[in-house]
Amino acid sequence: MPAPDPLPPDFWQPPLAELQARLGSPPEGLSEEEADNRRRTFGPNLLRPRAERTWVLQFLAHFRNPLVLVLLAASAIAGVLGDTKSFVVISVIVMMSVTLDFFQEFRASRAVEKLRHTVALRAAVIRGGQAREIPVSALVPGDVVTLAAGDLAPADGRVLDARDLFVNQALLTGESYPVEKRAQDVLPDADMTSATNALFLGTSVISGAGRMLIVRTGAATALGQIADTLTQRPQATAFERGTQAFGALILRLTVILVLTVLLINAAFHRPLFESFLFAVALAVGLTPELLPMVLSVTLSQGAMRLARRRVIVKRLSAVQELGGIDVLCTDKTGTLTEGHIRLERHVDALGRDSERVLELAYLNSQFETGIRSPLDEAILAHTHIDVGAWRKIDEVPFDFERRRVSVLLERGGARSLFVKGSPEDVLRLCTRYEDAEAQPSLDAAARERILALFAELSRDGFRVLGIAWRQVPPQQDHAVVTDESELVFCGFAAFLDPPKASAAPALAALAAGGVAVKIVSGDNELVARYICDKLGVPITGVLNGSDIQAMSDPALHAQVERVTLFCRVTPAQKTRI
């Protein structure tokens, strides 16, 4: 089988059949022989790791600090001149300081490595027509992988088929709500955030099931490209630059003073050997032997305090950097918010809180068959309603054209159809609405008021479902799409990823400490504004990802000082900010 053609970065754009042909992926999956050939061509499905140095090189790297070099030079000179006490004291202090630095960072790196190895992922792949489990690292472009709730997407690829497949891709896009994935073509200008027919490495399946065609693996994935930017050698921190500059200053002063002493003694015709001994003694006396040790112990104490809060410090100098920040850029989803969807409001057609809306939404979600969506789970987790008196008769399942689901239930001999779905579609099927005990006609004015309420909830960042119902004849034992007519509109169920209880106090403490907070999110502006309002974060300016894309670095630099909210930004744009 020929090797796959080079694929465009936006692999979600070509028709699926064309993509399968270019990848040389048959319906029964790749053979083991072909998979081995492709693994040799494309490499293992692993993110490119940072080039790790041996522990010996890591240890020796700590001697590059000018301050340490000054002390080593002073120690060596003292040893040559027979000043054993100074030689031993300075050498021991330098070794203790360097060893403490090395041990702290080495232990942190081993802890990270241990965490990495505990997550040994496997994938269900179809090879030669047979389903089998293999390590994720063994996947290659052209493989067909099956996915179910709880799985992580093992690479970047296209959806082959899906059944109620909802994916959390907040890792890449910052989107709070799970995104539904379908095997269909997308608009020509669709980007990664709107590629509903594509799955990306690291995103997780919340519900449903499906199959995906692996297109990009390892470092070629979207997450791999982000990881590449993070594995580059980190720049020296301000603290490291400061200590290096101080060490270089001490070195220059020592050399200048030693030379000055030698010249003065030579001018007064003092003995050369005695003058040299005096200059060396001066050099040793000028070197701050305890400074590296004091710095290492102080930073290690900070690292240990952070470790007790379950924070791994890989570079000791980062402790000082953390304490010296004056601007904090933070993500929203999962950092300031809970990271999962909750039912926040249930209101009637006039915007009043309504237990009736909650009850009807609960009945619909409870008796709906198939795989529940995250919104259904949020409704059922919100409260518990006794449904023992209800009996299910039939159901009209959800589909993408109707964008709603209906269940036919019976209680006490009376039968009712309960409908839940897209607010516009549900409202379009209604002829009346509930107002306390009455059911007035849904005229144009009432319809306009309800749509305005829907728009207001959407502006506040809520994901909204419409709830409606109707009574049917007691003898009706089937439900069909045509039954979804002449409905009574009950109200809206509104969902949100709520702020963490600890977020507002943390942000207030940062503000009190003089730290400016900027929210950098991949989510939309409405949701981000709502969270900022809830947490008391002042919004002095807003930039969207599309605005940032069109800006040069100097133009962006001029804006980031003023702007406090960045929305719809990609991971690469977060790095620019």
Backbone angles phi, psi at 321, to 5 degrees: -60, -40
- Which residues belong to the active site? 331
Q: Which amino acid is at 569?
A: V
Q: How far is CA 344 from the centre of its chain?
A: 23
Q: Give the DSSP H or E segment for 163.
A: strand 156-168
- From the number of C-beta atoms within 10 Å of its C-beta (0-12, 13-18, 19+), residue 300 rates as middle
Contacts of 250 (CB under 8 A, 6+ apart): 66, 67, 70, 286, 287, 288
Contact (CB, 8 A) for 365 and 378:
no
Q: Which residue has the tokens 């690829």?
A: 157
Amino acid making up residue 233 = R
Beta bridge partners of 58: none
CB-based contacts of 541-544 (< 8 A; 24+ apart in sequence): 541/565, 542/566, 542/567, 543/567, 544/568, 544/569
Residue 509, burial from CB neighbour count under 10 angstroms (0-12, 13-18, 19+): exposed
Closest CA relative to residue 164, chosen from 369, 410, 432 = 369
